Every structure is written in structure tokens, then in C-alpha cells.
Amino acid sequence: MRALRILLIVVVVLGGLFVLADRLAVNFAEDEAAAKLKTTENLATTPDVSINGFPFLTQVVGGELDDVEVGIDGYEAAAGAEGQKIRIDDLKANMRGVEFSSDFSSATAATATGTASVTYAELLKTAKNEPTDVAPGVTAQVVGLSDGGNGKIKVTVEATVLGTKLPQPLSVLSTVGVEGDTVRVHADSLPSFGGVQAAEDEVRSITDFEQKIDDLPGGIALDKVEAGKNGVEITVKGTNVALVG
């Protein structure tokens, strides 16, 4: 019985040391991956990297990590025009089947899914918010975007008719969607400018607009988008996504 107790104590101690070593190793790996990702993507702040699954060391021996989560706040994505950027908030990606090179200089995920958001203020930069002629004697401009409820965006428009600004801003509910790497906002109906008839194409040149979002980290791409309380909520996905390297 004494020998059995000693054996059990040894097993428990060794098990505890293994768990400690495993957690120290995973913490070191997370810090290293975060630092490399910051450099690779030229990020202003260090991202959050979490390597899930236990034990970590056996995953390293196998050359593949089951599940890695990455969080980046304030990512500056390419916005189509040369040099133009758009801020992506709370970008979170869950990466599965992450294979890494023998010298740990690169890592690629078989699949990735995630979420992100773009504030209405950021999206407003792409709308026509300068006075534009929509009919003889009528100019209009988008002055605000907000949550319209039921998955719609409320687009607020100011108009001037025959030199007089309308006393109340006009608003329309719009549908938001994704086509390729572009977020598109399309008005469900068009506003009336004080009884003045305006061509649909001219009005839609104000109410309808789009924003390209390109060059997301690791090659992930837009999947879906919907209107939220403070901005548009984006779902992203990708295959063969480069985590580092």
C-alpha cells in the first residue's frame, strides 16, 4: 500500500508538471504568434491570439493546431481607392486545422470563420455627403446613417428645393448586402423632394452607395453583412488562411 501511494504521488506530481509545462508553452506560443501577426499585417496594436485544445505539446508534435482564435481591433482595411482605408472594429477569427512549418516561421489554417463590424460613421464616408443635383432646382446629400430596425439601415438625406432647405431631413430604409468584396446599400423606396419630380437614377446616385473592403488579414473575405445597432455587422470566412508568414 505504501508503494502504491508513492506511485500515485509521483504520477500526480508528474502530471502537474506536464500541465504546467504545457500551459507555459502555449502562453509562449500565443505571444510569439501575436507578435509575428502584428509585424506581418503591420498592425498598430498587438492582436489577441488564443490556442485552444489540450494538450498543446502533443499538437505541436503532430504539426497541426486544432483551433486558434485571433482578435484584432481597429484594423485598417483597403477601401478600393488608392491609399483609402476603412476601419474594421472587433475583427475575430476562429481558425481550424492550423499547420505550421518546422521552424515555426509560418502557419496556415485550413478554414477560418469570423465576425467584424464597421460603424455607421465610418460607412458614411463612402456615401455622397456633398450637395448633388438630383433634379432641376433640387440638391440633396446624405447626412447620416443609423439602425432602421428589422435589419435595415436608415439613410438620412437633407435636400434643398429652389434655394430653400426643407425643414425636416428625409429618410429612407435601405437593404445592405455583400457582393464579392463590396458592401452595397440599396434604398427600398425613394424620398419625395417637396413634390418635385426627380429621376430615379439621380436619386439613387445619392441614396445608394457601396464600400469595397479588401486586403483583410490572411486572405479572409466578406461572407455576409447585416445592419446592427451601431453599424454593419460582417461575417467573414476563408480557406488556406495565413496566420503568420
What's the pLDDT tens digit per position in 48-105? Answer: 988 887 787 788 877 788 899 999 988 888 877 667 888 999 999 999 998 887 666 7
Kindly report the pTM of this predicted structure: 0.83
* Best CA proximity match to 222, nearest among 237, 241, 239, 232: 237
Q: Please report which confidence band the pLDDT of residue 128 belongs to, taking 50, 70 and 90 as the band edges.
A: confident
| Residues 52 and 68 sit within 8 Å (Cβ to Cβ) | yes
How far apart CA 26 and CA 189 sit, in angstroms, is: 54
Q: Is the pLDDT at 17 greater than 50, yes or no?
A: no
**pLDDT, the chain, mean:** 84
Q: What is the dihedral of CA 55, 61, 63, 66, to 10 degrees?
A: -10
Which of the two residues, 237 and 3, has the higher pLDDT score? 237
Q: What is the pLDDT of residue 60?
A: 80
pLDDT digits (tens, 9 = 90+) for 26-36: 888 888 888 88
Q: What is the percentage of the chain residues whose pLDDT exceeds 90?
A: 36
Q: Is the pLDDT at 40 greater than 90, yes or no?
A: no
Q: What is the pLDDT of residue 81?
A: 67
Which of the two residues, 200 and 4, has the higher pLDDT score? 200
Q: Is the pLDDT at 148 greater than 70, yes or no?
A: yes
Q: Is the pLDDT at 13 greater than 50, yes or no?
A: no
* Best CA proximity match to 26, nearest among 3, 60, 2, 1: 60
**What are the φ/ψ torsions at residue 135 (nearest 5 degrees)?**
-165, 165
* Best CA proximity match to 194, nearest among 160, 233, 218, 226: 160
Which of the two residues, 12 and 38, has the higher pLDDT score? 38
pLDDT digits (tens, 9 = 90+) for 189-234: 988 887 777 888 888 998 999 988 888 888 899 999 999 999 999 9
Q: Is the pLDDT at 166 greater than 60, yes or no?
A: yes
